[in-house]
Structures are given as C-alpha cells and as structure tokens.
A and B are shown apart, each in its own frame.
Chain A
Amino acid sequence: DIQMTQSPSAMSASVGDRVTITCRASQGINNYLDWFQQKPGKVPKRLIYSASTLQSGVPSRFSGSGSGTEFTLTISSLQPEDFATYYCLQHNNYPPTFGQGTKVEIK
C-alpha cells in the first residue's frame, strides 16, 4: 500500500496566518492527490482534487500544489471557520489511502 505522511500532525495558528500542510507519498502518485477538511463532528468535505483543482464553492484562499510524491495544501489567510483537521488522499493505486491528518488549532 502507498503510505501518505502529513506534516505537521498538529499546529497552532492565528487568524490571518498563511498555513502550509505537506503530504508525502511513499511512491509516485501521478497527481491523484486530494485534500479534505473535517470539522469536529462533521462530515469530511473535499477541498482540492487532482493536486491543484479547487472544488466548486471552496474559497480561493485554499490552494494545492505539488507533483510526484510531495504535495502541499496552502491556506493563504486563515479564517475562523478554517480551524479543522485536514487529510490528504491518494487514489493512484488501490487501496486509496489517507494521510493521518493535520489538526489546525487556534493559537
């Protein structure tokens, strides 16, 4: 199975901060990399697909980049509603695998 490793696992940030989360794959995944946001007690929501395509309705402060084995999710200016856990997902190979999550908390 392809292992997806996110860093950091948790972070504290302030409203207005630029936040970057990294996801590394154990092998190349042809940009079949998505990002999900999950707020406490809520359903995961897809933010980014194919590494850099913004899901319809998702604010433009979210962006994704990367290729091969290293990918990043960037929030350009953190808003109060962005405090959540973020997961990356690879679906280049079966089984599709998620990263362990990055919890973004309020500083």
Chain B
Amino acid sequence: EVQLVESGGGLVQPGGSLRLSCAASGFTFSVHYLDWIRQAPGKGLEWVGRIRNKAHSYTTEYAASVKDRFTISRDDSKNSLFLQMNSLKAEDTAVYYCTRSTDGWFDWFDLWGQGTLVTVSS
C-alpha cells in the first residue's frame, strides 16, 4: 500500500525540542521531494518546509516562521523523512503532516500521511 506514516508527536514545553519521523512505503521514496505541512487546531494549512531528492542535492526550503529552528532531513535507505524541531513555541502547536511531491513544479502534495499532533505547552 502506498502510504506515509508519521510518528513522534507529543507534548513538549516551550523552548524544547522534538523530532518527527515519517515512514514511507509502497512507492519509490528516493525520487520524490518531501514536505512537511502543519495545521494548528481549528486553523488552515501552513507549509513548513521541503527537502528535495538526491538529484537536487537534498536541498531544503523552509517557511520563515520556522527557519533556523526546524531542520528537515531524509534517509533514503530507510524510506524515512524527519523533522527536527528546536526552540519550540506555543504557536508551533499543530498537526504535522508529511507529504509527497514529484520532482518539478506540477505535481505537489499528492500523498499525505495521517498526521501527528505536536502540543507546545507548559
């Protein structure tokens, strides 16, 4: 089955860190770009960041709201995507989704994981 499965969410104090994982199966993980998108409770969708594939040197892009605090990485040998979140703030509280995109500009976010909830609170 083609799927993405996130894990690692939970409750963390402001200023703390958390690492999310996303396990992929059923497709050729290594050729795809991968993104994290989040959704605060009762709110809309916000793109967090992207990691490209090996052909594009695994380069990354980040939203301004998380740049210098969050880091996206991937392990193609394990079909896994990661989001390292540091210096967490209350406004980072959200469901975090990993998503798949195809190399290029046309085919973005065609597959989503079920999401994992991150709560930043003291």
Interface residues, chain A, with chain B CB atoms under 8 Å away: 32, 34, 36, 43-46, 49-50, 55, 87, 89, 91-92, 94-101
Contact = CB atoms under 8 A, between A and B. Distances in A.
Interface of B: 44-47, 61, 63-64, 97, 105-110, 112-115
Given A36-B45, A44-B109, A46-B110, 11 more contacts: A36-B109, A43-B112, A43-B115, A49-B107, A55-B110, A87-B45, A89-B109, A91-B108, A95-B63, A98-B44, A100-B44
**Interface of chain B, helix or strand or loop or mixed?**
loop
Contacts of B46: 98
Contacts of A43: 97, 112-115
16 contacts: A32-B105, A34-B108, A36-B109, A43-B97, A43-B114, A45-B112, A46-B110, A55-B110, A87-B44, A91-B105, A92-B105, A95-B63, A95-B64, A98-B47, A99-B44, A100-B44
B54 to A, nearest CB: 20
